[in-house]
Chains A and B, each alone.
Chain A
Amino acid sequence: MKDIAEIRADFPILNRKVYDKPLVYFDNGATTQKPQCVLDAVDEVYKSYNGNIHRGVHYLSDMSSEAYEKAREKVRSFINAEKREEIVFTSGTTGSINGIAFSFGERYIKPGDEIILSRLEHHANIVPWQMMCERKGAVLRVIPINNKGEIILEEYYKLLSTKTRLVSVTQASNALGTVLPVSEIIDAAHSANVPVLIDGAQGIQHGIVDVKEMDSDFYVFSGHKIYGPNGIGILYGKEKWLSELPPFQGGGDMVDKVTFEKTTYNDLPFKFEAGTMNYPAAIGLASALDYVLNIGRENIGSREKELLSYATNRLSAINGVKIYGTSDRKISTISFQIKNIHQYDTGMILDKMGIAVRTGTHCAQPVMDSYGIDGTVRASLCFYNTKEEIDTLADGIEKVKSMFA
């Protein structure tokens, strides 16, 4: 594995200063920084071979189309999907979930049907289902969590019933870092003949994801959270589902024949890719996935585990710091509060020390409600962060405490 100095040198932005202080970037849960190879890949599209995909007979269009389809193949092998037809490009995790919620609702949902989510979901995995439920007269059921921020599996088993049509849960909580027991969730759903969507927005960048082994029916994630460009995401769906579901958007490229009387749809995956897709970002994503493979997903996982344990020890040793989300299985995300100090105040002072954290409810208000708090400070680390940066955060917290004492 590359050493940490080499890794950091791959990410130009990590070198910069903010307010004359070296940047400490601990907001990777919101978006990750991009290695030079990703910037180059996107740049290269526009410089050398930009042409709209699947449209032209000309050279550039062919080159772009080929690179775009290669990117699809890269994603397929990265998550070990069976077929390239099962990989749909979208705008991001939110776009993927909205699409499935719409199509699944249109095809399968009747009044009184139930969708199961967990209390740990990001709003992106709540609101699209709520909108669908309102349209179709269906009902959301929510798996509760315990004090450590883990879902309570026994309660989930009780919620599964003949009314359940789909289970949609996150792989890891963006607000607390908890990793969910997805294989238990999927096994139980499948024995009740219920399909499962896994929101991988906070999962895929932290370890190996194998959708075949996981056996999820749908798996979605965002490119920009795994070192790729913004504006590109993935919707993986088993072919049997994707071929049965209606498209969620209409437009060019997704059609087979169009007359004003009737339109027939293109084959998978194009049926779900209406309009001009963000192919430069898809090509950049492929480069990001290559970068991750090159570093090694086991290496990333073990390095982040080490950072998490160091940060957890360092922060919990500070008088007055309370960590929310204390499961044994976590991604490298730490949510905390300092006693009697508002998270916004903490975030503002840390910012001026060059430390980028997120404050507030993290688009997961139900999680905050279950602890009776209105927000936390979240430090979300990844493999390019260092123990020295964690020390800087710890010093920052001491400084905040002294200022607001």
Chain B
Amino acid sequence: MTIKEVQDNIIEEFSLFDDWMDKYNLLIDLGKELPVIDPKYKIKDFLIEGCQSKVWLHPEYDGKLITFTADSDAIITRGIVALLIKVLSNRSPGEIISTDLYFIDKIGLRQNLSPTRSNGLLSMVRQMKLYAMAYNAKNKYGN
């Protein structure tokens, strides 16, 4: 599936629910499904600190695709982390850099990515793109 298709699927899944509590229940379930990050990466080097919740993000690059694993100490945050992983993990650096993340807005979770919310998610998106740029540069210019 393309990044666009994944985003459209998520939008469709969320559109089944009008009630906020149902949307949050879905996020909670998504959070539970998130592949567990290796505890050895839950360290300061991979921590994205927000003042409301924390996010850990670890990238792995096989020369073609970047695989992200991540976690959060808050479950709703972890649910949104899971969505971001669904969309942006196992993609090439080029795809990640050029992606427009429109699904967040469409499913009504934009407030969770506002800079004032400070829950680590906005920084997480930024960090995913930064990793992608770094790997991209490495490909082009070597070490």
Contact = CB atoms under 8 A, between A and B. Distances in A.
Given A344-B52, A344-B119, A352-B21, A403 B28 contact: yes
A349 B51 contact: no
Given A359-B52, A360-B52, A361-B51, A344 B24 contact: no
Interface string A338-369: 00011111011100100000011100000000
A344 B76 contact: yes
Contacts of A343: 74
Contacts of B119: 344
Contacts of A347: 52
A19 interface: yes
A352 B28 contact: no
A385 to B, nearest CB: 23
Contacts of A342: 53, 73-75, 77
A260 interface: no
Nearest to B23: A352
Contact of B25 (A345, A359, A361, A403): A403
B20 interface: yes
B117 to A, nearest CB: 9
A344 B20 contact: no
A344 B118 CA distance: 11
Given A342-B53, A360-B52, A403 B74 contact: no
Interface in B14-37: 20-21, 24-25, 28
A359 B76 CA distance: 14
Majority SS of interface residues in chain A? helix
A339 B26 CA distance: 22
A343 B24 CA distance: 15
A63 B34 CA distance: 64
Given A359-B52, A360-B51, A360-B52, A344 B21 contact: no
Contacts of A345: 74-77
Contact of A404 (B20, B21, B73, B75): B75
A374 B53 CA distance: 9
B28 A404 contact: yes
Given A359-B52, A360-B51, A352 B74 contact: no
Contacts of A352: 20-21, 24
A344 B74 contact: yes
Interface string B1-21: 000000000000000000011
A348 B112 CA distance: 10
A403 B21 contact: yes
A82 B77 CA distance: 53
A214 B83 CA distance: 56
Contacts of B24: 348-349, 352, 403
A383 B108 CA distance: 34
B93 to A, nearest CB: 31
A144 to B, nearest CB: 24
B76 A348 contact: yes
B38 to A, nearest CB: 21
B53 A344 contact: yes
Contacts of B54: 374
Contacts of A341: 75
A307 to B, nearest CB: 27
Interface in A184-226: none
A380 B25 CA distance: 27
Interface string B38-77: 0000000000000111100000000000000000011111
Those 8 A-B pairs whose CB atoms lie nearest each other, nearest first:
A342-B74, A344-B74, A352-B20, A344-B53, A344-B52, A345-B74, A345-B75, A345-B76
Given A344-B53, A374-B54, A375-B52, 20 more contacts: A19-B20, A341-B75, A342-B73, A342-B74, A342-B75, A344-B77, A344-B119, A345-B74, A345-B76, A348-B76, A349-B24, A352-B20, A360-B51, A361-B51, A374-B73, A399-B21, A403-B25, A403-B28, A404-B28, A404-B75
19 contacts: A341-B75, A342-B53, A342-B73, A342-B75, A343-B74, A344-B77, A345-B74, A345-B75, A345-B77, A347-B52, A348-B24, A348-B76, A352-B21, A359-B52, A360-B52, A403-B21, A403-B24, A403-B28, A404-B75
Interface of B: 20-21, 24-25, 28, 51-54, 73-77, 119
